[in-house]
Structure 1
Amino acid sequence: MKMKKIGLVTLWKRNYGSALQCYATKSMVEKMGYHCIPLYRTFPGIQRYTYYLGEIVRFAIDSFRYKGYISKYTSLRSAGKKSIGSLSKKSEESIDRFVDDTLQPEGYSYSQLKNIGKSEDFIAFIAGSDQIWNGSRRYDLVSFLGFVSDKKKIALAPSFGSEIEDYNKRSFSKEIRKFQLLSAREQEGVDNIAELTGRDAIRLSDPTSFLTPDEWRDFSKAADDLEGEYIFIHFLDKPCDFALQAMEKLRSDRGLPMVAFAYPQEEYERIKGIRFCNGGPREYVKYIDRASYVMTDSFHTTLFSIYFNTSFFTFHRQYTHNAKQTSRISNLLTLYGCEERFVADMAAFIEILDSDLPDSFEIRDKERQKLIGYLKKALDD
């Protein structure tokens, strides 16, 4: 019998956490007996120009409709480009290979997506996870499965980022109401859905929770090993002076080498003996699992450290705009009883330096079963 298909619209491009949550969702959907296809929009020929023309018109309308729209939008757009450092070329290529070989997303024009949205081969479509519904970015109809008309729409733990800007609220409300099943990755997202639609949603963990730690180890077993013990450093943005002091303190106290991964921050030159390495998603997972310590400003690096019970320290990311985007990490750490691991100064770092991580097995298992139960019910009903 022909296997029924599930369309998946999510983030996966050149980001370890995004690619891995997409992989986990695809894997779990296929374990449940469906063929899962990540989908994205392309702009062939003249469609690119007509799309951008429409965006210009929409920008002009929103500029007239919302006071301060232009300054707010340009500020967020500029800051967004600066808030995450550049991946090394080798790591970028490694992620791209993983996406092409393992995730195998399929790109279609919007008219083709609309045909897919009506196809009898597809029984449902999933939006999420990660910040696919980021409330500060320009509203994107594909992220809300706007090409789907009469098929089931499932929201799988999408994140809204920091806040929903006024210029997005009406569109968000209209499109979210069309989903049959609603969830969000953070409690703020659940509250956002209630405010926008008057409907209840369920809070779910990040889809990387679909896989057990042992399944993630199996996933990463083919990756190259790093020899000996080490401190794993993974900062998406440049580390602040306090984070650099904490790195030097940990290196000095433990006598372990430091390995910085994927993002070559200039500030690392201030750390004695630090070395840089590249890799794809499999290396990323293995290096966190095998590390003696992890130091990071990344949500997913924090999350995988919890999965593997690797001692970690999470730092505030050095955003270049005023929007506070730490709520998702704070929520994560609170859920797993690791609030003190979000360190804000040297005194707090020294205080927890020798403390053990709390046992989070029961919480992890409960969150995983909740996530699986939601997806199974969504697909089977």
Structure 2
Amino acid sequence: MGKKANKVGILTFHRANNYGAVLQAYALQTYLETIGVNAEIVDYRSAYLEKAYRGHSLANKDIKKLLRDLSDWPIRYLKNKAFEKYRKQYLNLSKTYLENNVIESNNMYDYFLFGSDQIWNYNLSGKDSNYLGAFVSDKKKLNSYAASFGTYRTREKEYLEMLKRFNKVSVREESGRKFFNEITNRTDTKLVMDPVFLINENKWKSLVNEKKVKRYIFLYTLQGEKTKMKEVAQYLADRTGLKIVEMQAWLRPKPKNFIPRYCDTPIDFLSWISGADYVITDSFHCTAFSIIFKKKFWVKIAECSEISDSRVGNLLHLLHLEERVIGKNLEKWDIDAMPKYEEALDKLKEEINFSKEFVNTIIKGEKIK
């Protein structure tokens, strides 16, 4: 009789109605399955995050904001249904756990992997210590894969003490590695790739669906309605004559050449990137999939941020793709310049191999190189 496969519980932001969050959860689960691991997403439902993504208060709002929220409610409802359908179809979920019973999951897994995404951004999780492993009794089971702090930095005693309990640690950004080592006095923290890079382009392409729009610019921004990225996309559209497909979370008037998408699934998100002539984004995961699909993509970094301090900037710097950042002077923008993929993909392959080796140190008990 063969050796029983390890069972690993993945603790991440899989309940967020965020395209990158649910796709990276699928990616880590899928990669672990390909190496013979029984992988399961711990279906932990944080009260704070459930309220943030599914609750919506109309209290203490002026009439203008109230009317706007009411007009957007159908979009939020339909988008939530689209994400729930994706989670049921693509994620291998455990039984549901809440804050008062997640401790019961201790006996269900040989190891836990915390990550990826910004699970160590204490503000983003509403200071939910379970994303720092508070419920795990055996710290030998505590491991992280590509965990991210985002821009969050704190030295709160409780926060530091919980992070110090982790056994094998990997983070997604160099800035996060420096911060973790500094606050824990460790030197063995590893830098690994986001889980979406652990499965190859062909696997991702097997999921995409064909769109009726054949030639277009795909615009995806996290900056909201007032972003200047629409101006950038419009400039590119004027130069190329292409339509702009934009994923939206709100009902607002759009120029005639914009094709707004309101309630698309995570698979639609993948598909729009895969089929685009150009991608314009400020999103980490939209950038990551643009690289995976070898697209002609451009990134807009917030003017208040240094490229080295941003999550997207860390990725571009690692792969020597800093030239994909759009400058302030659009007249100097060479819109048809292709990314230098030959060098970038060689570096990416190297980093992916190292990332997979790190996973093996946890699953097979191998030493970290």
Could you state the TM-score of these two structures normalised by the residue count of structure 1?
0.79
Match for 2:144 among 134, 150, 155?
155
| Pairwise CA distance, 1:180 | 1.1
Is the contact made by 1:209 and 1:367 (CA closer than 8 Å) also made in structure 2? Answer: no
Change (3 A) 1:162 1:299: same
| Pairwise CA distance, 1:5 | 1.6
- Distance (whole Å) between structure 2 residues aligned to residue 115 and residue 288 of structure 1: 40
Match for 1:298 among 283, 286, 302?
283
After superposition, residues 1-381 of structure 1 pair within 5 angstroms as 3-12=5-14, 13-42=16-45, 89-106=77-94, 107-110=96-99, 112-117=101-106, 119=107, 121-137=108-124, 138-150=126-138, 151-166=140-155, 169-200=156-187, 201-220=189-208, 223-238=209-224, 240=226, 242-264=228-250, 266=252, 269=254, 271-277=255-261, 278-316=263-301, 327-347=310-330, 350-359=332-341, 360-381=344-365
Is the contact made by 2:8 and 2:38 (CA closer than 8 Å) also made in structure 1? Answer: yes
- State the aligned residue count: 331
What letter corresponds to residue 241 of structure 2 in structure 1? Answer: G
* Same amino acid, percent of matched pairs: 25
Partner of 1:56: none
| Pairwise CA distance, 1:142 | 1.1
Is the contact made by 1:133 and 1:158 (CA closer than 8 Å) also made in structure 2? Answer: yes
- Distance (whole Å) between structure 2 residues aligned to residue 323 and residue 149 of structure 1: 39
**Ranges in structure 2 where 5+ consecutive residues have no aligned partner:** 48-71
Which is helix-richer, 1 or 2? 1
- Distance (whole Å) between structure 2 residues aligned to residue 105 and residue 191 of structure 1: 33
- Distance (whole Å) between structure 1 residues aligned to residue 204 and residue 143 of structure 2: 25
Is the contact made by 2:221 and 2:229 (CA closer than 8 Å) also made in structure 1? Answer: no
Change (3 A) 1:89 1:325: farther
| Pairwise CA distance, 1:111 | 5.3
**Ranges in structure 1 where 5+ consecutive residues have no aligned partner:** 49-84
| Partner deviation per Cα, 1:102-143 (whole Å, 9 max, x = no partner) | 2143322445432321x2x52100101110001444432211
- Distance (whole Å) between structure 2 residues aligned to residue 323 and residue 163 of structure 1: 15
Is the contact made by 1:95 and 1:281 (CA closer than 8 Å) also made in structure 2? Answer: yes
- Distance (whole Å) between structure 1 residues aligned to residue 336 and residue 90 of structure 2: 39
Q: Secondary structure at the match of 1:219?
A: coil
Change (3 A) 1:331 1:7: same
Change (3 A) 1:116 1:245: closer
Is the contact made by 1:238 and 1:265 (CA closer than 8 Å) also made in structure 2? Answer: no
Q: Secondary structure at the match of 2:290?
A: helix
Partner of 2:59: none
Change (3 A) 1:363 1:230: same
What letter corresponds to residue 226 of structure 1 in structure 2? Answer: K
Is the contact made by 2:119 and 2:131 (CA closer than 8 Å) also made in structure 1? Answer: yes
Is the contact made by 1:340 and 1:352 (CA closer than 8 Å) also made in structure 2? Answer: no
What is the CA RMSD across the aligned residues, in angstroms? 2.8
Could you state the TM-score of these two structures normalised by the residue count of structure 2?
0.81
- Distance (whole Å) between structure 2 residues aligned to residue 313 and residue 92 of structure 1: 29
Change (3 A) 1:173 1:192: same
